Amino acid sequence: MTKNQADLKSQIIKQLVESGKYDELTILLKQRLHETGWIPELRHRLEEILSKEEAQSPADIKFNSVVSKLDLLDLYNGKLDPETKKMVYLQLHQFLLDNFEVL
């Protein structure tokens, strides 16, 4: 990422946070992830991994080991509702149009 890209990213994030849009999108995304079954599926997979880890060595569960076994990309691709993605992307797109000058 170039310095200009990093600066632009920082400006966008700052504006998202200051405007309250970041919180709004976070709440919307969490709600949709729960409604579409993504969060329950994540919890289920996490419980399975933890029970296997505990069975192997209960006192030595490592966070990185658990996260690496979750395969979040697979979960993202398999369960994230296309309408949810579209909804968030459209809101972000509109936010950018409303708040940043397009060259």
Residue 8 within a domain: no
Residue 16 within a domain: no
Residue 68 within a domain: yes
Residue 15 within a domain: no
Residue 42 within a domain: yes
Domain coverage including residue 44? 25-99
- pTM for the full model? 0.67
Residue 70 within a domain: yes
pLDDT digit string (tens) for the chain, length 103 residues: 898 888 988 999 999 999 999 999 999 988 988 888 888 888 888 888 888 777 776 666 676 677 677 666 666 666 677 888 888 899 999 999 999 876 4
Residue 59 within a domain: yes
Give how many domains the chain has, as a whole number. 1
SS3 readout for the chain: CCHHHHHHHHHHHHHHHHHCHHHHHHHHHHHHHHHCCHHHHHHHHHHHHHHHHHHHCCCCCCHHHHHHHHCHHHHHHHHCCHHHHHHHHHHHHHHHHHHCCCC
